[in-house]
Amino acid sequence: MSSITMVQAVNDALREEMRGDDDVVVLGEDVGINGGVFRCTADLIDEFGEERVIDTPLSESGIIGAAVGMALYGLKPVPEIQFSDFIWPAFDQITSEMAKMRYRSGGQFTCPMVVRTPYGGGIRGGHYHSQSPEAYFTHTPGLVVVIPSDPYDAKGLLKAAIRCEDPVIFLEPKRIYRAPKMDVPDDDDYVVEIGKAAVRREGTDFTITAYGAMVAVALEACEKAAEQGWSGEVVDLRTLLPLDEDAIIQSVTKTGRLVTLQEATKFCGFSSEISAIVAEKAIDVLEAPVKRVSGFDVPFPYTLEHVYMPHADRVLKAIEGVMTY
């Protein structure tokens, strides 16, 4: 076991998978000599060379398009998009080619690749470096969408994603890239199963669903709620697509109340899907309407970032709403 940050966890996962499989290649803007804008690919080029750690031109469409071709020819590319905000020029390659390759070929071809990209706010990056695009990709059949909330899961889920035969969008919450540290296994065979949520805190009075950097916010809100005598359960989704619906329904059935938490804007956000699933499958156990806590329906602000991003007190207000309904 090693006590490491999420940045190091990502780096270790890439290094171990590249050592174990010569077909794994990394490509993207500045991933080689500079080791990536957040240093997630630091020193990989020294060990694996420029044929497997490829610095590309500033062309997101070209990066993903090239990676799709690599995957079809038997490689396992792991392209990096420097910020998720820059992924839109590659959106057609992702949704029209990468996601549909298995279906359009009748199963003759798969597209095993992992698109890594940091997302979300918390670093004062402004509206072009802080967005949360997860809902766009969960609306696309054929993709797997993964978001870790800590170094342990970041390493295990990334290793599982690289071994997956389907294309994966791997969103990394950059707000927690370097804090906190966690003990993470050094075992090459260590993986975290894709498609399984994790209960981060057991509770009996209400459920909070969250993912990425919002898991820590949910846990903090539960601590505040406990001061008022309320017991909260936190379900870390970990994988948005496929979604572990059973874990959500099981928790809500136990608590009878649900607060959903996301950093992205509210309208048509991923939490809306969770609300709909619970309404369809567990409305008879609900003792209060579902409350959604999210970013606001505005472009991500710079100077008011601290106002935009959900924090524990905003979540606590939603908890009070479901507990006093």
Query: Residue written as tokens 């996301």?
Result: 262
Query: Which pLDDT score, from 0 to 100, does residue 124 have?
Result: 87
Residue-wise pLDDT tens digits, 173-228: 999 999 889 999 998 889 999 999 999 999 999 999 999 999 999 999 999 999 99
* Other beta carbons less than 10 A from residue 87's beta carbon: 25
Orientation of helix 214-226 relative to helix 312-323, angle to 10° = 50
CB 4 within 8 A of CB 181: yes
Out of 129, 139, 306, 311, pick the active-site residue: 129
The answer for residues whose C-beta is within 8 angstroms of residue 13's C-beta and 6 or more apart is 154, 155, 156, 158, 159, 162
- CA distances 264 to 51, 139, 292, 310, Å, are 37, 15, 11, 9
The per-residue pLDDT for 318 is 98
Show pLDDT as tens, one digit a residue, over the chain (325 residues).
889 999 999 999 999 999 999 999 999 999 999 999 999 999 999 999 999 999 999 999 999 999 999 999 999 999 999 999 999 999 999 999 999 999 999 999 999 999 999 999 988 888 899 999 999 999 999 999 999 999 999 999 999 999 999 999 999 999 999 988 999 999 888 999 999 999 999 999 999 999 999 999 999 999 999 999 999 999 999 999 999 999 999 999 999 999 999 999 999 999 999 999 999 999 999 999 999 999 999 999 988 999 999 999 999 999 999 999 9
> 246: which strand partners?
none
**Superfamily of segment(s) 2-184:** Thiamin diphosphate (ThDP)-binding fold, Pyr/PP domains (3.40.50.970)
Which pLDDT belongs to residue 126? Answer: 87
Is 129 a residue of the active site? yes
**Residue ranges, CATH 3.40.50.920, the chain:** 198-323
pLDDT score at 262:
98
Cα–chain-centroid distance for residue 51? 28
> Where are the domain boundaries for CATH 3.40.50.970 in the chain?
2-184
Q: What contacts 179, CB < 8 A, 6 or more positions away? A: 5
Q: Is the pTM for the entire model greater than 0.85?
A: yes
**How much is the pLDDT for 187?**
86
pLDDT at 271: 97
CA distance 153 to 150: 6
Give a three-class secondary structure readout of 198-261: EEEECCCCEEEEECCCHHHHHHHHHHHHHCCCCCEEEEECCEEECCCHHHHHHHHHHHCCEEEE
Alpha carbons 290 and 288: distance in angstroms, whole number? 6
Nearest to 244 by CA among 192, 196, 194: 196
CATH ID of 198-323, from 3.30.470.10, 3.10.110.10, 2.60.40.10, 3.40.50.920 = 3.40.50.920
